[in-house]
Structure formats: C-alpha cells, structure tokens
Structure 1
Amino acid sequence: MPELQTGADGFLLDGAPFRILSGALHYFRVHPDQWTDRLRKARAMGLNTVDTYIPWNLHERRRGTVEWDGGIDLPRFLDLAAAEGLHVLLRPGPYICAEWEGGGLPSWLLAEPGIRLRTTDPRYLAAVDAYFGRLLPRLAPYLSTRGGPVIAVQVENEYGAYGDDAAYIDHLVDLLRRHGVDVPLFTCDQPGDLARGSVPGVLATANFGSGAERNLALLRARQPEGPLMVTEFWNGWFDRWGGVHTTRSAAEAAAELDTTLAAGASVSLYMFHGGTNFGFTSGANDKHTYRPTVTSYDYDAPLDEAGDPTAKYTAFREVIARHAPVPDLPAPAPSKKLNVLDVRLPRSVSLLAAADLLGTAVDAERPRTMEELGQDFGFVLCTTELPAAGPVELDVEGVADRAQVFVDGQPVGVLERESHHRALAFVSPAPGARLDLLVENQGRVNYGPGIHDRKGILGEVRLNGRRARGWTSRPIALAGLDLPFRPTDVPPVGPTFHRGTVALEEAADTYLDLTGWTKGNAWVNGFHLGRYWSRGPQRRLYVPGPVLRAGDNEIVVLELHATARRSVDLRDTADLGPTEE
C-alpha cells in the first residue's frame, strides 16, 4: 500500500499530493457481518479513508489477555477496509472518549486505589505498556510501511482538554515507536486545547464542527507548517437519557465541510456511521450532574444507525465532488426492514430469585464495588439483614449509578446518582428482614476528571444513623441467561426476565419497540441489544439483520420495574425521540 508523508503544507502519498477524506466508522459499534456494507458505502460517498478508535476495555476485559473475537476482530476489519480500497487512520488511545464506557479504559484499572489515569502514574503506565505490548505487534502487519492500509496512528485523544503532562504524551510516542509504528503520528484537540495537547515532532490536528475558517487559522498559528487536518469534523451529536434527540441541518453541516475543504484541509467526519452502543457499552458525562448516554449512537450521521443513507450522505457527497473525484455510483438503497407486531413474552423468572445463578456472592463488612469484584459491566446485588422491625431511614453515602431497594423482595424505593439521591425511608416488617440493593452501572464517565468512575455502593450505608455491617455482594454481569423461565399469567414483582419467541420467514434489520415497558435491557438470540428506558428520547432498539434468522427467534427482556404489556413489537422504522424545536 502507498505510504503517507507530511509535507510543508499538505500530505503526500508516495510523493504525490494527497488529501485525506475520511469518516469515523467504529468496528465495535457495528455487527461484523455488516462491516463490508458500511465500508463500501464510505467509498461510494467519496471517502478514501476511514478512522476507528480501539476500545481497550473490550480487547482486554481481563488484565493480561487481549481478545480479537467476533465483533472486535480488528485485523479482519482492516483487511475488509483494504479490500474496499480504503486507507485507515488508527486511534488506539489508550483513552478514546467516544461516548464509550469509561472512555475505553478498562474498569480493572480502578481496582487500584488512588490510581491517576492518563498520567505518568507508574501503575497506569505499566498497564498501558503491557497492553500496547500485546496489541501493537498484532497490528504491525497492517501498517502501510508493511503493505497494510493503516497510513497514520493517533497518540492519545484530546489530551489538551484533560491535562498538561507532556511526559505522558512523550511516553506514548516512544512506546508506539518502540513497537515499530513507523507511519506518521498525530494528536487531535479542540482548537483552544492545542497548546496543551500537542507535542513537538507529532502532527497536531483539530476537532470542531463549525467556525471552520477561525479554527483552521488557530491550527495554522499553532503549527505554521504541515498539513491542515480536522480529525473530528462534528456533523452530528450524541443523545442522553432524559434529553432530546440531537440533530444538525444537513445544509449547515455541508457548508462547513465545503469551507474546510476549500481551505485545503484534510478531514475525517465524526461520525460517518455511528452505529450502536450494544450491551452495556454506552458511557456518560458528569459535569456536576451525571448524564448517561443512550444505546443508539446514530449521531445524525451520513449513514443512520441501520446503515441507510441520510440527507447528509447526499449533501456531503456533493461537497466532496467539488474537491475530489467521487465514484460514479448510485446512492445506496435502504436495507429491508421487518415489521411484526405483538410478539408475546409469556415466560418469566425473577432476577432476585435467580440471583444465585447469575453470580457468586462475596461476604464482607461493607458492600463491595464492581471493581473490587472484578466486574466491568452490569449490576451488583448487595444484601444484608435489617436489625429490627419498624421505621427505617436508609442513607447511602455513594450510589453509582442507580440502586433499586427491596425489603424481603418488595420494592421500597430507588436512589439515583443523576438526581443526587442518597436516602429513603421505609418500614421493616421484622428483625432479620432481607435488604437488597440492586445497583446498576449506567455507564462509566467517558470525559474529564470523572473518568475515575467506580461503580456500585461507594461509601457507608447507614440504617437509622448506624453503619450497616455484614453484607454479601453478588456481581450480576448477565453474560449468559440460562435461567429457569416458566409460563406466568402474572409476572413476579420487581426485576424480571421475560422470554418469548417469534417465527420469521427471513432475517432483516428491525427495531425492537418496548412501548409500555419501563427500564431494562433486551436480547435477541442471545445478542445484547442494549438498554431501554421509558424516559427517552430513544424508544426503539436497533436489531441488526445478522442477529436474526429464518425460523424461531428468542427475545428476552429484563424489566427492572414493571410493564403495561407482556409483548413487544418489531418495527420497520427507528424512533430516536423528539428533537428540539
């Protein structure tokens, strides 16, 4: 493959002038059977490159073992990109932000008390060094200097918005070079953070979505020579639970893109195709109030969550055609969608009753955090006994992120980090009554100092002012759902798994509509679609066609509260909620 060089005022590819026209496409947010489709559509829009982060917390979920299977088979993704004639910008972090759980940093780092992430803390650097030592040799054959599609590699991610530890960035540069990364390196920062985030000898690039002329001038002032590059051209945005669905005008975004390209800059669209935060992978923000991100990562991008072209696809293609050759191909057609209504889920099992099948309890004087239990995603069930009958005031010092409280299996209240809750009152029916706190990790913070985001019960628990002692803490990771489902006319009270099947003549994309349900998670044929919540804005979960099959298909819903119906619908359109007027 051709090799990229940086000239005085632009990029060169094997010595010839070259402009990077890229789009972000995260392999880990797209079903692997759909990678080729999305890559082909990137090429058809006029892109010559795609960029992707690498989520450390998926590739090394357990310290010391780097995984590449299935939906995180990055080498396969790189092979497919090369087969479509696309170059790749690789963004390995170790921190990636991306509205992704913990910014991609593995939760096991937080099992170390006092660790300082994204610094030269020796404990953090030792973990980074070991991870890169396993990751980079596997990816070395994909560098363009060795015939692969990867033409450049990013160092960290928007570090200027976080810190100013130049020694940390220098360490990462040396680490990449020591492991044979001999393609150009680059940093990316918002224009106001360029001074803190860039380092000598590494190309500085900017991230923005508007004010192209002003922001490119700031980049040029910071870096008088070298290519102008916008690593993240923000053409949309992400959504949070309880907010609205964020959109951006295609015409406005296309005009800013045109200005950027007219200035001679290279660009990568963030996002070209956002995809989905499947499972428990969506992150959160915390600027004094915790705000978890929704399951969809549609991002109002040129390709929507199902990979169908939007108005931005056509508008951006027209802009790109003014500045570079675009393949003479028709616009991609939307994929076929399924519409099947009233799929019954008649079999149920209580989560609390089946808890011993979902995780092994650990005894301790206080509730254990998820990190102490070696757990990354899901829930933790903390249990103790109430000492006496009568009124109880429960005071929990730190809830991360949402605790449902039960007495002898009956719900008595909810404590939410987002609402700054920490106390509630109830009545204990008898001495020795069981107190359960089912604590949900709603997504570790992915931006700012809040990335040190431990989950579970983080402080003291007091009952009528006295410290509660003698707890069991049970990790509920929900990695497998081999549960004793039974037909039920009336489902159990509290968190309940519901199961049903739907017979299909063929597989195709669809959206799981959970109207009438409250809050929880959903699986189709064992594939974890993600979280749902009636507070919105998102109202339907995307179901990739490859997850389904002709014949019977299993649907499992974990409802944490209650449902007004025992059925779901498969719909042929998305519903990401209302937008701002």
Structure 2
Amino acid sequence: MNRLFGAALLSAALSTAAGAQTLLKLDARAEAPAPQTGHLKLGTARSPKGGTLAANSQYLLQDGKPWLPVMGEYHYSRAPASQWDAQLRLMKAAGIDIVASYVFWNHHQGQPGGFDWKGNRDLRRFVQLAQAAGLQVVVRLGPWAHGEARYGGIPDWIVDAMPTRGNDAEYMGHVERLYTEIGSQLKGLLWKDGGPVIGVQLENEYNLNGPGQGEAHIAALKRLAVKAGMDVPLYTVTGWDGAVYPSGEVTPVFGGYPDEPWAKSTTELPAKETYAFRFDTRVSGDLGAQTQAHDRGTAETDKDKVPFFGAEYGAGLPAMYRRRTLVSPDDIASMLPVQLGSGVNLLGYYMFHGGRNPVGAGGTGLEESSLSGGYNDTPRISYDFQAPLGPDGQQRPVLAKLRPFHYFLRDHGAQLATMTVRQPERVPASLTDLQTPRWSVRSKGDAGFLFFNNHVRQYPMPAQAGVRFEVQLPGGAVTLPSQPIDIPSGAYFVWPINLDLDGVKLRYATAQPVARLDAGAQGIVHVFAPTAGVQAEFALADGVKAMSSEGGQLLPIGKAGGRAVSVLLLSHEEVAKLQILDIAGQRRLVFSDQQAWVADGKLQLRGLATEPLHAAVFPALAKPRANGLLVREDGPLQHLEFKADTGEPALQVSATREARNAPRILKGGLAGAALQPIPEAFAAAATWSLKLPQQLAPKAEDVLLELDFVGDIGRVFAGTRMLDDWYYNGQRWQIGLRQFGLKPGAKLSLSVLPLRADAPVYIDAAHRPKFADGQAQVAELRGARLLPVRRVVITP
C-alpha cells in the first residue's frame, strides 16, 4: 500500500510488434437509435422538491439525466431489525443505489385476521432506514413471491381455501387487503412524497395465461396497487420464462445465474449463457420459475419498447438439497461485463444480503419444500445464498470483485446508459464454443466501452493470443492496444474508448475505469483498475503511456480549469481493498480489508476483534479521533490503525451421540429428484455439545460461531429451538449469536445428519467428500470456533 501514488513508469508511443496477431473487428458506425418516450404508463414522476424519475425505451432518467443504478436484494423479514441500519449502510458503501425486498405475505399474516408489522417485520422502519442510508427502494409486493418461501409466500390458509395467482374474486379480495396494508406501511415514503420508494414489483415469475390470468391478472394487480396508494414511477414484473403482462403498463426485469441449483442434474451443467453476450434477446434460460409457458412471452415482443433492466443476477447461489453449487468470486463478477455489454441498464442482484427464515404460526417452517408441494427443498431457516454480505453482515470475498464495477457505474453509468450494443464481426457459434473471443462494445458517437469475458464457470477458456481490437467509429477506427497482447484465461474487463476525462481525451485504455475523485488541492483524479496479465496503456494526445501492471501509480495527463487532471492506476491488491465513501463532505478512497461505511458523518470499521483493524484514506481526514486509534502518514495516504483487542473465546466441544446409519435418500416430488430426508431421519444424526464461555467477548458487537463440518445437513439448537441449519457444500457455516439473547455459559447442540456415499445430490467435485472403500457415509465435525466481531467509530 505504501507504493500508492509512486512515480509513474512512462514510455514513448509504442510500436506494434511484428508477427502473427488476431485482429478482432467491430463496426460501431451506425447511428444509435433515439429512445422512445410517452408510451409507458408510469406513476407520478415528480417529488415535492422537483426531482424527477422516469423511464424511456432505453434507460432511466433521474432529474432528466440518464441513470444506470445498481440494485441489491435484502429481505427485511429475514434479518434482525437491530442490524438493518448498519447493513443498509454497508450496501450503500459497496456501491448499491437501490435496495429491493419482497414482502412475504405469510411473514405478516400467518392466520386470518390482523397483520404483523412489528419487529423484524416492520417494513416502514426498514424503508425509513434505507432512506437515511441514501438508498432508493423497490418493494416486491407479491402476492406470490417465490423467494424459496413456503407456497411462494402466500399463507397456508389462503392456499387451502381458494385458487391463487389469478383473478378469482375471493382471492383478489384478500390480495386487495394485503396491498392496502402495504400501502399504509409506505404512506408518505413514496417518491412523490419525497420518500425513497421508486418502484413496486407485481407478482413474480408469472407466465400463466388463461381465463383471469396473464395480462388480465397483472393489470388487476396494478389497479389494486394504485388503489392502495402505491403511485410510483416504476411498476415492474419479471420478464423471464415466457412472462405474460400488459404491454406499456409495466416494465419487465431480467436475470441470470452462474448455475441452476433448482436443476435435477447431479453432474456439472453445460456452460451457462450468463457468460455469453446477448445481441438478440434479453431473456436468459431457466431461472427456476415454478410454472411452465409454451409460447413466447411479452418480454420478447416488448424488446424495443422497454429498457433492459436486471433484478435477479445472482450475486451468489442458494444451496438446495439436491444441488449445492459453491461459486467463486470470479464466477459471479465475470457476469458483469457480459450483462452490461449486452445492454443491461439497471444491474440488479438477488441476493446481495443473506438472511434466515422466521418461524411461522404454530412453529411451521416457512421455507420452500417438497413436503409442502414446492419444486425445491431448501433449509428450514438458512437463506445464506452465498451473498456478498452474509446473514450477519459478514463480508464475503466476492465483494472485492463487485465493488469496482459498481463504482464504475456510479461515475460512468450516465454515459453508458445511452450507448447502443454493438456486435463483433465474429461471435461464438454456441454456448459451448469456448474458443471464439467473447466481447462487445457499447457506443454512442465516437465514445464507447469495450466489454470482454474469458471466464466460464467450470469450463476453463484458453488464453487469447496476440489480440488487438479494431472498432470502427463515425470519426474513424480505434485500434487497441498498441501491440498484440495475450489475454489470460479467466480474464474479464471493461475498457474505455474516447473517454472524456475532464476535458482530456483518453483515446483508449487497457485498464478499467473505476471512479472520478475530486482530491481538492491535488486536483481531479481518475481511478483505474488493472487487467490481470495485461500491461496498462493510456492513449493520450501525446502518445501511449504504459504503466506497470503492479499499479499504485499516478500519471498527470493535463489540466481542467487550472486544476491538475491525473490518472491513478491501482494495484490488484489496492482494488480488492478499495471502498469509496463520502466522509466529512468529501469523497475519499478508503483501502481496508475490513468493512468500512459512514454513519452520522463518522467512519465505521468492522472486523474480527482478534486482528488489527486498518484503513488507508485519501484524501486524508483533518483530525481523525477514536479510542485506541493510531494515525500515521505515508505520502498522500493517511493510515488509521487499531490493535487487536481480545483473544478468541474458548468453546468447549464434546461429542454426545455417534451417527447411526442414515436412511437411503428417496427421489420424488415435482422435480422427480432427491428429496430432503423426513424429520424422523435426523434420529441418525451425530451430535456435539457446544458450551459457550461465561464471558462471551462482552465488548464485541457480535460473536460468530463458525462450524466446519462434513455431512448432509447440519442443525444448531439452543435446547429444542433450532437457531440455524445448513446444507453441506464446502462453505464455512457462520452464525451470529448476539441476536439470540443466549445466557452466559449456554450450551448449544450441533447435529449432523450423515451424507451417504450414494446420495444423489450434486456437490462440487472440489468439496464432495472422498469416501474410502466400503465407507457408506460421513458425519464429521472438523472444527468449531468463536469469532468476536468489533466495530470502531472514527470522528473525522
């Protein structure tokens, strides 16, 4: 980190190397079509202070300017209300602009009668906290949500008594009451009131078509939403799997995942289209809809009338009983240049924050399961989803890969939103064609961005040797880089073409734009991230400047209004630590392995109490203050450090029951695949006692119980109360203990149902247990520990 802002390594204009090369060509000279307006029937677009939010056929407009936001899903009723404020601010710090959440009907009205909007179900408070964190909100109304919830979130007593998901009069009467209740919760919090709620989603994954269904049902739901007072700028529906909706009344949203945990296969799936650029359709393949359609949906015929919005690009994956895929950070992040390069103008994640299911009336599980007629079996409580932020706010490694793209969209999204997708001369013949380079350009006039992906999950792609790109633009061709390069296997990136950097023209760069920073007396700094295995070139009016791939270097490129304009190329290590925050009225770069965010104008750092906390800040804070804070200066960087303040609490672990022979896993249900064992099967589980210490790190904000086990299903109990459960998939299982109000010295119990060697379930090869000859099953606890988490607050 002490190399940051070191001397730039420059060279004169480079000559093209002789020898064989692959010239990838693309023609972007055609004029970009103008957006259509006035055909979408949206709600009130103006706020009391005159702000506007609207949409045309191509993109969103905020206050009349193009807007390309990032949206992340976080289910309030699956999370402790005590955590909402900090978690929403963490989402904001990670570059999220909009938080989306389902309203699960059965979380609020488990029995006929009144609704429960208290505690963890307090939708109104959640929305208020989102606004305080600087986030906009999209409320996904249902009534059918899916979300791996029992009956898709519709209460049992509704499902038992009447038809659902159509215009049945009795059903719609109950839906009207649900919408009225939600409208009451959101009163005064809509965009038109000066609030953060900019949109609502009607239903979910809806492709039914028949009497009282299809367009008629979605139109009826919209009328009920408006009648309930939900007059918002955006009304959306999911557009995949043959979705049917009234054109012009709602806007479709799309998605894609790096695997299909709802699939029946117990082996690796073919290469997913999520990694392939789309030039003709916005609809991905199977996204797990519970119903089947046989005709083209409205989204296909609406393609030129509505923007390309995303709502469910998987920032992780759920573990379902029969298929438990564990994805890598690159499996997730490599989808981003593909989706953006395919024209996505709202990047929406599902899920961005994990959670846990509440328990229903009478102790009923509220998860989707084959026992209740669901297509999938999911954990009773856990809804971890391998999300960038875990159920207890844990920072997952994928965040380091996603944040630079979010910051790029925050500063360059307005320009990108107006750009048209351009198809290369040569594209892959099919999803299984891993040899042909995968790339696209989005451009308008002579400016554009080049998107490239050489990563497909579980299918290593070859390095692309001797590559150069030739992009024909109205003002002439741009060829980059200056000499052929080898693009490594697994690389993915966004490169700019003719980018205006505060009046300085950057003809191209072989590095990814991240952010623009007003550094005060040090001028305007444009932050870039290097591309793995590729030397960074910046093509300027006075030639091509090459910078070391180690990064951490500042390159002056000109002046704007008497102020210096520079390019800052970070190192890979610095990009992974980068968080961009507004502190004390100024936007700053914060480099930290820990979580960083701002609340009440103060910098918050959160990490393990057993380790030092550290953040490097640029520009420096005036007079940072905090108990135990050590401040040191290193060039332009200001280092803020705290020593570790506790040891790891002792956890007493003892085996209490040996595993018995687990019953054979049955197949059946709607999927005709492996079924989660029935409750009585857990009599075969191995169990351990986990005794907490009398002093459970009293100064810690939380204490995570981390379990490393191998088996089929793990469950943790306090007495007979199940606190959490987990399908083994190779991922470490962590449980925040503060939320449960456990007494000092409390005893917890861990049960692990053995995983049979013949289990017809999919677990990635890297994590599937290696059964010895003759070994029929495994149930093993390899480690259990307590990890105290602390937060420090720094006054700037």
Instruction: Report TM bin, short chain.
Output: 0.5 to 0.7
2: CA distance between counterparts of 1:150 and 1:250? 31
* Residue matched to 1:146: 193
CA contact (8 A) 1:302 1:310 kept: yes
Q: Among 306, 314, 317, which residue is 2:400 paired with?
A: 314
How many angstroms does 1:342 deviate by?
2.4
Residue 207 of structure 1 corresponds to 255
Q: Is the 8 A contact 2:651 2:693 kept in 1?
A: no
Moved more, 501-510 or 119-128: 501-510
- C-alpha distance in 2 between matches for 1:538 and 1:281: 25
Q: Which protein shows a greater Rg? A: 2
Give the Å deviation of 1:110.
Answer: 2.9
In structure 2, what is the equivalent of residue 41 of structure 1? 90
Moved more, 542-551 or 11-20: 542-551
**1:261 and 2:340 matched:** yes
Deviation by residue 1:390-435 (Cα, 9 ceiling, x = unmatched):
xxxxxxxxxxxxxxxxxxxxx999898x545xxxxxxxxxxxxxxx
Residues 553 and 142 from structure 1, CA distance in 2 versus in 1: closer, same or farther, beyond 3 angstroms? Answer: farther
Corresponding residue to 1:241 among 297, 310, 321: 321
Residue 177 of structure 2 is matched in structure 1 by 130
CA distance in 1, matches of 2:58, 2:780: 62
CA deviation profile, 1:133-161 (whole Å, cap 9, x unmatched): 22222222221111211111111111127
TM-score (norm 1): 0.64
Question: Does the Cα contact within 8 Å between 2:255 and 2:314 map onto a contact in 1?
Answer: yes
Per-residue deviation at 1:122?
2.5
AA matched with 1:222: D
CA contact (8 A) 1:39 1:84 kept: yes
Greater displacement, 223-232 / 504-513 = 504-513
Q: Determine which of 321, 330, 341 is the counterpart of 2:651.
A: 341
Please say if 1:531 is aligned against 2:720: no
2:377 maps to 1:292: yes
Mapped to 2, the partners of 1:250 and 1:145 lie a distance apart of 38
Q: Tell me the distance in 2 between the aligned counterparts of 1:208 and 1:498.
A: 41
Of 165, 170, 189 in structure 2, the residue corresponding to residue 118 of structure 1 is 165
Answering whether residue 494 of structure 2 is matched by residue 184 of structure 1, we say no
Contact 1:527 1:547 in 2 (8 A): no
Q: CA deviation at 1:132?
A: 1.9
Cα pair distance change 1:212/1:345, threshold 3 Å: same
Distance 1:31 1:216, change over 3 A: farther
> What residue number does 2:735 align with?
543
Rounded Cα–Cα distance in structure 2 between residues aligned with 1:217 and 1:345: 53
Partner of 1:576: none
CA pair 545-141 structure 1, distance change in 2 beyond 3 A: farther
Cα shift readout 1:247-295 (whole Å, capped 9, x = no counterpart): 1x43343233224334361121112122333553332369999641134
Matched, 1:509 2:595: no
TM-aligned CA distance change 1:323 to 1:242, over 3 Å: closer
Q: Using the TM superposition, give the Cα deviation of residue 10 of structure 1 relative to its aligned residue in structure 2, in angstroms.
A: 1.6
Out of 346, 363, 368, which is 1:283 matched to? 368
In 1, distance between residues paired with 2:100 and 2:684?
46
Q: CA deviation at 1:206?
A: 1.8
Separation in structure 2 between the aligned mates of residue 81 and residue 19 of structure 1, nearest angstrom:
19
**Structure 1 position 46, deviation (Å):** 1.5
SS in 1 for 2:220: helix
Alignment partners' CA distance in 2, 1:236 and 1:527 = 28
User: Residues 494 and 36 (structure 1 numbering): CA distance in 2 closer, same or farther, change over 3 Å?
Assistant: closer
Aligned length: 442
**For residues 152 and 377 of structure 2, what CA distance do their matches in structure 1 show?**
13
Distance (Å, rounded) in 2 between the aligned partners of 1:235 and 1:517 = 26
1:303 aligns with 2:415: no
Establish whether residue 323 from structure 1 lines up as the match of residue 517 from structure 2: no
Q: Which amino acid aligns with 1:257?
A: L
Match of 2:567 in 1: none
CA contact (8 A) 1:520 1:558 kept: yes
Going from structure 1 to structure 2, the CA distance change for 1:243 and 1:228 (only over 3 Å counts) comes to closer
Unpaired runs of at least 5, structure 2:
1-46, 258-273, 284-298, 360-364, 412-514, 516-579, 581-587, 596-605, 610-647, 672-677, 755-777, 789-796
**More displaced 10-residue stretch of structure 1: 168-177 or 233-242:** 233-242
Cα deviation per residue 1:61-114 (whole Å; 9 max; x = unaligned)? 1222111122111111111111111101110111111112221111121332xx
- Does structure 1 retain, via aligned residues, the 8 Å contact 2:650–2:692? no
**Counterpart in 1 of 2:153?**
104
**Counterpart check, 1:229 vs 2:314:** no
Return the offset for 1:513. Answer: 3.8
1:48 Cα deviation after fit? 1.3
- Assess if the C-alpha contact under 8 Å between 2:191 and 2:232 holds in 1: yes
Q: Counterpart of 1:509 in 2: which secondary structure?
A: strand
Gaps spanning 5+ residues in structure 1: where?
Answer: 349-410, 421-444, 449-455, 458-491, 574-581
- Higher mean displacement: 85-94 or 333-342: 333-342
Q: Which amino acid aligns with 1:153?
A: V
Task: Report the alpha carbon displacement of residue 243 of structure 1 after superposing the two structures with TM.
Answer: 3.8
Correspondence for 2:352: 272
Distance 2:753 2:393 in 1: 33
On the 8 A contact 2:219/2:245 being kept in 1, the answer is no
Q: Deviations over 1:373-396 (max 9, x none)?
A: xxxxxxxxxxxxxxxxxxxxxxxx
Report the CA distance shift for 1:569/1:494 in structure 2 as closer, same or farther (over 3 A).
Answer: closer
The verdict on how the C-alpha distance between 1:264 and 1:170 changes in structure 2, with shifts beyond 3 A counting, is closer
Q: 1:499 to 1:43 in 2, by over 3 A?
A: closer
Q: Which amino acid aligns with 1:203?
A: T
Structure 1 residue 223, shift from structure 2 partner? 3.5
Deviations 1:345-397 (A, max 9, x none): 99x9xxxxxxxxxxxxxxxxxxxxxxxxxxxxxxxxxxxxxxxxxxxxxxxxx
Give the deviation of 1:558 after TM superposition: 8.9
- 1:506-563 Cα shifts (integer Å, max 9, x gaps): 2523136495998685445997523357xx3478754224326696154455969999
- Distance of 1:569 and 1:256 partners within structure 2: 34
Cα distance, 1:414–1:126 mapped onto 2, change above 3 Å: farther
Cα distance change of structure 1 residues 545 and 495 upon mapping to structure 2, 3 Å threshold: closer
1:190 CA displacement = 4.5
Distance 1:565 1:312 in 2: 28
Q: Which residue pairs with 2:202 in the alignment? A: 155
Asked whether the 8 Å contact 2:355–2:392 carries over to 1, the reply is: yes
How far apart in 1 are the matches of 2:337 and 2:153? Answer: 32
Per-residue CA deviation, residues 22-52 of structure 1 (Å, 9 max, x unaligned), is: 1111112222222222211211122211111
Higher relative contact order (CA 8 A, sep 6+): 1
Pairwise CA RMSD: 4.5
Q: Amino acid of the residue matched to residue 251 of structure 1?
A: D
Counterpart in the other structure of 2:64: 15
Matches within 5 A, 1:475-514: 502-503=693-694, 504-506=696-698, 507=700, 508-511=702-705, 513=707
- Mapped to 2, the partners of 1:289 and 1:181 lie a distance apart of 31
Q: Which secondary structure does the structure 2 equivalent of 1:552 belong to?
A: coil
Please give the alpha-carbon distance, in whole angstroms, between the structure 2 residues aligned to 1:53 and 1:267: 17
| Structure 2 residue identity aligned to 1:181 | M
Aligned ranges 1:383-462 → 2 under 5 Å: 418-420=666-668
Question: Any conservation in 2 of the 1:530–1:541 contact (CA below 8 Å)?
Answer: no
Question: Whose helix proportion is higher, 1 or 2?
Answer: 1
